[in-house]
Amino acid sequence: MALSVLPMSSVLPMISTKLLKLPPSPLSLNSNHASCSISFGGVVASETRCKAIAVDSPREVEDLPDIDWDNLSYAITPTDYIYLTKCARGENFSGGLRCYGNGTIDMSVSSGILNNGQGLLEGLKAYRKQDGGILLFRPEENALRMKMGAARLLMECPSVEQFVNAVKEVVLANQRWVPPFKKGALYIRPLLFGSGSILPPAPSPECTFLIFVSPVGNYFKGNLSPIHLVVSTEYHRATRGGAGGVKTIGNYSAVFMAQANAISSGFNEVLYLDSVHKKYLEEVSACNIFVVKGKSISTPPIDGTILPGITRKSVIDIARNEGYQVVERRIGVEELSDADEVFGTGCGIVIAPIGSITYLGKRMVYGDGGVGKVSQQMYSILTGIQYGLMADKMGWTVKVK
């Protein structure tokens, strides 16, 4: 995220706006402390289109964004609205829709997120149905996971109802950005972070809950294309007693080095082992992992170092309904050489077939490097529910429109 210092009150050293040539942020949090403008968009969006819709009662806009939906990438596209609300410790959240503007917010340079990394993120999607309707997939699960993470990081958190209603509101306000049926999805990024001023390593006195959205295509290039992993023997994603089991912001920057090394060596991603025994599978940087052998599907257990993925949880239920024996257990890295199929699950990737895994120089190929039968089956059922093509017998989808 880009950081740039903005002018503050007269009690602080004054910085000339002419020298910086920065416009005032339309999303100011009105802090009495020195503040930073934090860009979450990276690209300036037009404010005029936002002003054309009443913020307190957004209506459907006829003009569609100028986007090549057939070549939609997995990247940030500025939209019309964000959702922003704040809460002091022991109080209630208040706020709502704001214009996206230039994609910046103001906060104290001594905020909890900037100084102590006190923050959580979530990820979910809105899907366009064939009839033009819009569905969310299990948003209450994201709300519950955020509450669990907030308890771990000692932050105030919106209730499940507040979370789901906020997601619905921001999706409805940005509905023209939901890609056409089967052309992608509207990625929804809720954030909860310490925005209050704090110097020692302690919980922030104020938290901000923010949601922004962006239309996205596939996480990896190609639709259900096999990816290739390398097992890391040097880096670990999480350790016992840490925060690997909650979706903390800091968990992701810790894998950048391992990811960069893997990509430079021709791999798509990294598969991590446990940090104690260094032999049990944990997860990939941004997804959970499943190992298939016959009619048995195994996945590492949720024991504090692995993120409880919502797609993971859904695939377990789907697979059991389809007659597979699903076991949550420790999986030794040596079992990869005997697997029939391996795949990953996550909000961004949905289902990612694993074409090969390399461990200590040995490359293990699955299904001739193509898409496995189970991967294809799970993907078809899961996306069928998400896009409203199949009956939602589980009650997982939530109608926005």
**Active centre residues (catalytic):** 247
Cβ(291)–Cβ(304) below 8 Å = no
- Report the Cα–Cα distance between both ends of the chain, in Å, rounded: 32
In the chain, the largest separation of any two C-alpha atoms, in whole Å, equals 70
3-state secondary structure the chain: CEEEECCCCCCCCCCCHHHHCCCCCCCCCCCCCCEEEEECCCCCCCCHHHHCCCCCCCCCCCCCCCCCHHHCCCCCCCCCEEEEEEEECCCCCEEEEEECCCCEEEEECCEHHHHHCCEEECCEEEEECCCCCEEEECHHHHHHHHHHHHHHHCCCCCCHHHHHHHHHHHHHHCHHHCCCCCCCEEEEEEEEEECCECCCCCCCCEEEEEEEEEEECCCCCCCCCCEEEEEECCCCCCCCCCCCCCCECHHHHCCHHHHHHHHHCCCCEEEEECCCCCCEEEEECCEEEEEEECCEEEECCCCCCCCCCHHHHHHHHHHHHCCCEEEECCCEHHHHHHCCEEEEEECCCEEEEEEEEEECCEEEECHHHCCCHHHHHHHHHHHHHHCCCCCCCCCCEEECC
User: How many C-alpha atoms does 69 have within 13 Å on its Cβ side?
Assistant: 14
347/349 Cα distance (integer angstroms): 6
44/77 Cα distance (integer angstroms): 10
Q: How many CB atoms lie within 10 A of CB 39?
A: 18
In Å, how far from its chain's centre is CA 332? 28
